[in-house]
Amino acid sequence: MVIYYDSKTGNVQRFMEKIKGERPNWEIIKISSDLEVKKDGHFVTFTTKIGEVPETTARFLEKNSKCIKSISSSGNMNWGVYFAVAADKIKEKYNIPVCMKFELSGTNREVKHFIDYVEKNNK
């Protein structure tokens, strides 16, 4: 199982640490500008500014979107309709299914939902 992720403030990083604690055999990779994806996987990012896709995520997806099976996004519910909307924008642009949206670094229930979704949809 491969999970790619992008994190700026540490919320997505902490979510990934929770996932790794539950599934230590999963390969969890923080994206970088020179990352060349060789395996299909799921992608977790964040929403920045007022409902925007982060530039680092946008650049990653321009090169690698065909290898991504689902998108999840962190956000803050204080932003109302803009909560984790990066996932919706990525779905619209690349036709990648949305696994979930979660607040900040995610709850235990959200971690379980993510794991269940990825395991069910990794065929």
Domain borders along the chain are: 2-120
Residues 6+ apart with CB under 8 A from 79: 47, 50, 51
pLDDT confidence of residue 123:
63
Q: Which one is the CATH code of 2-120: 3.40.50.360, 3.40.50.720, 3.30.390.50, 3.40.50.2020?
A: 3.40.50.360
pLDDT confidence of residue 79:
87
H helices of 23-83, where? Answer: 55-64
Give me the long-range contacts of 35-39 (CB less than 8 A, separation at least 24).
35/4, 35/60, 35/64, 36/63, 37/4, 37/63, 37/64, 37/67, 39/2, 39/67
pLDDT digits (tens, 9 = 90+) for 59-80: 999 999 999 999 999 999 888 8
Residue position matching structure tokens 């984790």? 84
pLDDT confidence of residue 122:
72
pLDDT digits (tens, 9 = 90+) for 11-42: 999 999 999 999 999 999 999 878 889 899 99
Assigned token pair, 33: 């500008």
pLDDT digits (tens, 9 = 90+) for 53-63: 999 999 999 99
pTM over 0.85? The answer is yes
Q: Which amino acid is at 1?
A: M
